[in-house]
Structure 1
Amino acid sequence: MNLGTSLQFGIRYLAVLTSASLLWEFAHMPFYTLWQTGTAGHIAFAAIHCTIGDALIGMAALALAVVFAGGAHWPHKRRVRVAVVMILLGLIYTVFSEWLNVELRQSWAYRDIMPTVPPIGTGLTPLLQWIVIPLVAYRYSLGAVRTNVRNRPKASVES
């Protein structure tokens, strides 16, 4: 694993993941009761707070996927395997977190317009968030890998 390539990948991934998550948090806020009951300040705080959590969850999911599925040659090899594990980890955490915070702690609540996935009852928009955004960020970040491969000096052969 090339540390420079991995670092570039991680920076790109975090930048896209965080900015897209912030947009998503505001976009799907109307599906939560906070949209109707909270002030603009509460809504903004919730979106920023959740975006920071999204960044931490997303980076942890990527790191765990690389460790357990990537091997020494990632990101040059096993890209799909890492992406699948990363998405699965994000989805597992999302199902757990939504259950914990909606059902158990009642930290937030869905409005009746939130589509939920039976039988787990998890909101559709949080699940889609953890499929779409990490995949877009991952795909974009692979550009760091392709750029490094193209810019690598060619080995010279001495006779």
Structure 2
Amino acid sequence: MPSDDWLSAIRRYLVVIALGNLGWEFAHMPLYTLWQTGTAAEIVFAAVHCTGGDILIATMSLMLALLIGGRPAWPREGFLPVAAMTVILGLGYTVFSEWLNIEIRRSWSYSDLMPTLPWLGTGLTPLAQWLVIPGLGFWLIQRSARRPCQNAEVRG
């Protein structure tokens, strides 16, 4: 078992997080009022800025999950608890951040097109974002961890 499995896994995860969130931020931008009121430059800035925040949230969620539930041989051992904890932390922060920035700070607002959870008021696309993209990242990690090591020495 290679000792750099965890490093490769984290790198794969962060690439998926960065690219996935950048695409997602642009894709769900029409569900925010900025899409109708902002200039093209403001929309691009918001998407890139939010992607940076998404990368930080995802990184900190993963690091905290690894510190709490990780094993030295992660991701080959203890994969599921770390993946689940990471997603739960990301979802929890997202609910808090959406509430804080919409209800308290009024930094952004949803358009009438944004489907929301009635009891929280949180948009469904931000919640889906924290299920789909980390899910894809963890799927890629697990898929890679299951492959036999291609650099393994053949002994006869």
User: Deviation at 1:9?
Assistant: 1.0
Residue identity (%): 50
Once residues 149 and 61 of structure 1 are traced to their aligned partners in structure 2, the CA distance between those partners, rounded to angstroms, is 28
Q: Distance in 1 between matches of 2:5 and 2:107?
A: 39
Give the structure-1-normalised TM-score: 0.90
Q: In the alignment, does 2:102 pair up with 1:114?
A: no
Instruction: Give 1:1-159 correspondences, 5 Å limit.
Output: 3-147=3-147, 149-153=149-153
Does the aligned pair in 1 maintain the 2:6–2:73 contact within 8 Å?
no
Please, which runs of 5 or more residues in structure 1 have no aligned partner? none
- State the TM-score, normalizing by the size of structure 2: 0.92
Contact 1:87 1:130 in 2 (8 A): yes
Question: Aligned partners of 1:57, 1:123: CA distance in 2, in Å?
Answer: 17
Structure 1 distance, partners of 2:10, 2:143, is 11
1:12/1:119 CA distance change after superposition, 3 Å:
same
Distance, in Å, in 1 between the alignment partners of 2:6 and 2:74 is 8
Aligned CA distance change for structure 1 residues 47 and 148 (closer, same or farther; 3 Å)? farther
Kindly state the Cα deviation for residue 144 of structure 1 after the two structures are TM-superposed.
Answer: 4.0
Assess if the C-alpha contact under 8 Å between 1:8 and 1:144 holds in 2.
no
Moved over 6 A (4+): none
Q: Tell me how many residue pairs correspond in the alignment.
A: 156
Bigger helix share: 1
